[in-house]
C-alpha cells in the first residue's frame, strides 16, 4: 500500500479513467457528499466516473447521488473508495471489488490500508474536506453541485458544526463552499432543521419517560418495541438517539436502553463525561468501547434488568471516583 | 448621526476612553459575546472599559461577561451600544443613557440611528463579526477570551450555523476564532448540545400533544400554563419553541399556541413556507408580522378558540392558493 499526498492523488486521478466510487454500509452525508463531489470533479477532468449504487441510501440523499449511479453492467477500470475505513464496511454489492480498490480517500485513522493507494488525513473532520483539497491540487474550482456535495459532507460529519470534532478547516471549507454558491440555507433546512413526524412522536415518548438518578447525574432513556411501533419509527429514524440523555444539563452518564427484536434482545449505549468510564461500565454486561462512548448487547436480559445492573455498578463506580 | 466604516470606528475607539458598553433587553449570545469582545479589545488598547450589567443575563452567559461588569457608581465617558437596534430595547438600567450613546455597532438594518455615530453592516449574520472586523482594522489579533466571545456571538446568532442567515463570512469568522485558540468544542457543548431537564420535560409534553391537519401540512403545538408548571420551565427555557412545528417534515404552516398569564391571555406564533402567508393568517386574530413569521395576542380567547379560528382561516387560504 502506498500513501499518497493530495497532490499525488490529484495526479493519480488525472492519469487514470473509468472510475467507480464506493461508499460504506449505512452511508451518511460524508459518504454521499464525498462520492458525489469526487465523481463530478473527475467528470470535469474529462473522465468517465460513476458512484456504485448504495442500497441503503436514505431519501434525503437520493437527489445528491442518484444521477451519478453507475449503469447496471458497466465495467469500471479504476475503483476508488471514499470515507471507507475497511473492506468489512463494503455494502453487499461492493464485495466483488474487495482486493481491487486502486485508491482509498479517507479521514479515518483506523483505515486498514486495504487499497493499493491511500490518501488519508486523519485530522480532518470529514472526508469531503480532503476531496476539496484534492480538487484544489488538481486546479479545479468547485461548481455549485460540487460545492453543495462538499458542504453536505462537512456539515453532516460535524453535526452542523456542533460536535467536538469541528475544526478550523471544517469552518473554512464551509466558507469556501458558500462562496462557490452552495445553497447553504436550503441544505441546512433539509439536513438539520427538519424532523419527521415519526421522530417527533418518538422523542415525545422518550422525553416523557426519561429517568434521572444520583441527583440528576445519570439519565436513562428507554426505547421499547412498542414505542417504535406506535411512532412508526424504523432504524432509519434513530440517528443520534444515543446522544439524547448525555445532552441533558448536569448529566455525567447518559444511558440509552433499546429493545431490539424481542423483549429479551436488548442493547445499551452509554455516553459519559470524564467523570465515568463508559467502557468499564459496559463491561459489567459483557460490552465495551471507548472511555466516553461504549455499549453492550447482553443476551436474554430485559431493559429493566439491564438498568438495574447498570445502576448498581454506577453506584459502586461513582462512590469509588468520589463523583457523589 | 454619522455613519462610520470599520476603519473609522477603530480610529474612534483609539481616540476616546472610559467606555461603557450597553446590550439589549433579553440579551442573547450575540449581545453578550459582542460586548465582552469589545471591552477586551478596548482594554488591550490600554483603555478603561466595562459592560453595563444586564439584569436578564442567563446562567450560561455569566462566565462570558460577569468579570467585565462596570462597578456600581462608575461614571463612563463614552457610551457604546452593541447589537442594539433602538432605544426602545434598552434595559431599565440603561434608560439613563438614552440620547447619550456616542457609538452604536450593529448588524440590524432596522437600527434607528439613535447614536451619534453608527457602524452598521446589515449583511452580517451577527454583530460579533463586525467587532472582529473593527479589531482587525485596529491591528489587534484576538486572544483566546476575545476569540471565544466572538465565536459565541456568531454561533448563537446563526443557530450553530444552521439558520438561513448563515453566510460565508460567518463561517470564515468561526474558522479564524478556532485558529486563534477558541475552545469551540466546549462552547458548542454548553450552547448547543445541552438542554435542561425542564426543557426536555416540556418538549416531551409538546411532542406528545402535537396535532396535524390538512394531510400533515399544518402542525399545531400548544404550551399551557399547566405544562409550564409541571416541567418547571420559565420564559428563559422557551428559546426557539415557536420553530418546533415548522421544523417537522412536510409542514408548510407551523402554529405555536401559548397560554400566558391566564387561560384567556394567549398568544400564537406562526411560521410558514412560501405556500402560506403567516402575516395574513395572523391578521384574522388582529396580529401581523412577516410573510413567513408572524404572531398575534388577541385578548379574551382560549388556545382552543384561537386554534379553531386559525384552522378555519387556513382552510380558506389553502383552498384559495391551491395548496390542498
Cross-chain Cβ contact B206/A204 below 8 Å: yes
Compute the half-sphere exposure of residue B247: CA atoms within 13 Å on the CB side of its CA: 19
Q: Are residues B202 and B178 in the same domain?
A: no
3-state helix, strand, coil in chain B (%, to 5): 45, 20, 35
**Which helix (H) or strand (E) covers residue A47, if one does?**
none
The strand ranges marked E within A197-283 are: 211-213, 218-223, 253-262, 265-272
Q: Are residues A105 and A252 in the same domain?
A: no
Domain range holding A213?
197-320
Do A180 and A201 lie in one domain? The reply is no
Say whether both B316 and B168 belong to one domain. Answer: no
B197 to A216: CB separation less than 8 angstroms, yes or no: yes
Does one domain contain both B132 and B65?
yes
Nearest CA to B36 out of B127, B141, B118 is that of B127
Residue A156 neighbours by CB distance under 10 Å: 23
Q: What is the CA radius of gyration of chain B?
A: 22
For residues B59 and A249, give the distance between their C-alpha atoms in angstroms, rounded to a whole number. 12
Smallest CA–CA separation between A225 and chain B, in Å?
17
Residue of A74, A35, A40 whose CA lies nearest to A51? A35
Which residue, A192, A212, A244, sits at the end of a domain? A192
3-class SS of residue B265: strand
Tell me how many residue pairs between chain A and chain B have CB atoms under 8 A apart: 130
With beta carbons less than 8 A apart as the criterion, state whether A90 and A24 touch.
yes
- Can you give the pTM of this predicted structure? 0.90
Extract the C-alpha cell encoding A33: 457528499
Domain boundary among B140, B165, B192: B192
Helix (H), strand (E) at residue A296:
strand A293-296
Same domain flag for B72 and B157: yes
Residues B184 and B215 grouped into a single domain: no
Q: Are residues A135 and A251 in the same domain?
A: no
Q: How far from B224 is each of A237, B101, B209, B265, B268, CA to CA, in Å?
A: 29, 41, 11, 11, 12
B89/B39 same-domain check: yes
Model ipTM over 0.95: no
What DSSP designation does B17 have? -
B202-261 pLDDT tens trace: 999 999 999 999 999 999 999 999 999 999 999 888 888 999 999 999 999 999 999 999
Q: Tell me B69's DSSP state.
A: B
| A213/A127 same-domain check | no
**What pLDDT is stored for residue A324 in this prediction?**
55
**What is the spatial distance between Cα A115 and Cα B248, in angstroms, rounded to a whole number?**
42
Helices vs. strands in chain B: H and E counts, helices first: 11, 12
Residues A254, A257: Cα–Cα separation, whole Å: 10
Please say whether the beta carbons of B187 and B152 come within 8 A: yes
Positive or negative, the CA dihedral A249, A214, A259, A204 is negative
CATH of the domain at B14: 3.90.1640.10
Predicted confidence (pLDDT) at residue B91 exceeds the cutoff of 90: yes
Each residue of A108-162: pLDDT tens digit?
999 999 999 999 999 999 999 999 999 999 999 999 999 999 999 999 999 999 9
Characterise A289 by phi-psi region: left (phi > 0), alpha (psi -120 to 50), beta (else): left
User: Do A138 and A29 fall into the same domain?
Assistant: yes
Select from B29, B161, B182, B254 the residue whose CB has the most chain A CBs within 10 Å, as the one to mutate to test that interface: B161
Interface test with A, best of B216, B249, B252 (most A CBs within 10 A): B249
User: Strand A103-106 vs strand A218-223: parallel, antiparallel, or unpaired?
Assistant: unpaired
Residues A29 and A168 in one domain: yes
Q: How far apart are CA A273 and CA B295, in angstroms?
A: 41
Q: Which of B166, B192, B218 is the last residue of a domain?
A: B192
Task: Give me the residue from B194, B206, B250 closest to A247, CB to CB.
Answer: B194
pLDDT at residue B240, rounded to an integer: 85
Task: Report how many domains make up chain A.
Answer: 2
CB atoms within 10 A of CB B316: 12
- Closest by CA to B275, choosing from B321, B320, B241, is B321
- What is the Cα–Cα distance from B23 to B69, expressed in whole angstroms? 12
* Tens digit of pLDDT at every position of chain A (324 positions): 999 999 999 999 999 999 999 999 989 999 999 999 999 999 999 999 999 999 999 889 999 999 999 999 999 999 999 999 999 999 999 999 999 999 999 999 999 999 999 999 999 999 999 999 999 999 999 999 999 999 999 999 999 999 989 999 999 999 999 999 999 999 999 999 999 999 999 999 999 999 999 999 999 999 999 999 999 999 888 888 999 999 999 999 999 999 999 999 999 999 998 889 999 999 999 999 888 889 999 999 999 999 999 999 999 998 877 765
Helices (H) and strands (E) in chain A, counts: 11, 12
Q: Which residue has the cell 399556541?
A: B257
Closest CB to B175: pick one of A171, A207, A209. Answer: A171
- Cβ distance of B207 and A200 shorter than 8 Å: yes
CATH number, domain of B288, equals 3.10.310.30
Amino acid at each position: 500500500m502506498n500513501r499518497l499526498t493530495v497532490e499525488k492523488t490529484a495526479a493519480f486521478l488525472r492519469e487514470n479513467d473509468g472510475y467507480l466510487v464506493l461508499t460504506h454500509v449505512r452511508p451518511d452525508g460524508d459518504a454521499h457528499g464525498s462520492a458525489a463531489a469526487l465523481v463530478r470533479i473527475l467528470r470535469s477532468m474529462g473522465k468517465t466516473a460513476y458512484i456504485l449504487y448504495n442500497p441503503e441510501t436514505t431519501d434525503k440523499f437520493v437527489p445528491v447521488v442518484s444521477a451519478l449511479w453507475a449503469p447496471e453492467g458497466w465495467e469500471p477500470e479504476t475503483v476508488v473508495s471514499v470515507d471507507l475505513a475497511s473492506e468489512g464496511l463494503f455494502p453487499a454489492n461492493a464485495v466483488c471489488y474487495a482486493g481491487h480498490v486502486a485508491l482509498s480517500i479517507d479521514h479515518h485513522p483506523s483505515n486498514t490500508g486495504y487499497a493499493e493507494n491511500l490518501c488519508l488525513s486523519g485530522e480532518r473532520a470529514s472526508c469531503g474536506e480532503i476531496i476539496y483539497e484534492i480538487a484544489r491540487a488538481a486546479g479545479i474550482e468547485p461548481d455549485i453541485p460540487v460545492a453543495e456535495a462538499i458542504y453536505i459532507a462537512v456539515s453532516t460529519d460535524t453535526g452542523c458544526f456542533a460536535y467536538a470534532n469541528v475544526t478550523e478547516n471544517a469552518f473554512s471549507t464551509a466558507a469556501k463552499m458558500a462562496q462557490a454558491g452552495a445553497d447553504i440555507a436550503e441544505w441546512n433546512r433539509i439536513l438539520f432543521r427538519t424532523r419527521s413526524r415519526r421522530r417527533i412522536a418518538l422523542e415525545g415518548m422518550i422525553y416523557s419517560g426519561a429517568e434521572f438518578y444520583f441527583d440528576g447525574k445519570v439519565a436513562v432513556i428507554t426505547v421499547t418495541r412498542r414505542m417504535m411501533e406506535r411512532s412508526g419509527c424504523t432504524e432509519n429514524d434513530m440517528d443520534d438517539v444515543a446522544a439524547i440523555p448525555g445532552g441533558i444539563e448536569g448529566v455525567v452518564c447518559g444511558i440509552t436502553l433499546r429493545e431490539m427484536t424481542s423483549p429479551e434482545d436488548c442493547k445499551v449505549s452509554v455516553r459519559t463525561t470524564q467523570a465515568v468510564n463508559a467502557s468499564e461500565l459496559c463491561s459489567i454486561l459483557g460490552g465495551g468501547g471507548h472511555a466516553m462512548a461504549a455499549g453492550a448487547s447482553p443476551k436474554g436480559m430485559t431493559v429493566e434488568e439491564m438498568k438495574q445492573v447498570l445502576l448498581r455498578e454506577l453506584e459502586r463506580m461513582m462512590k469509588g471516583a468520589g463523583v457523589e
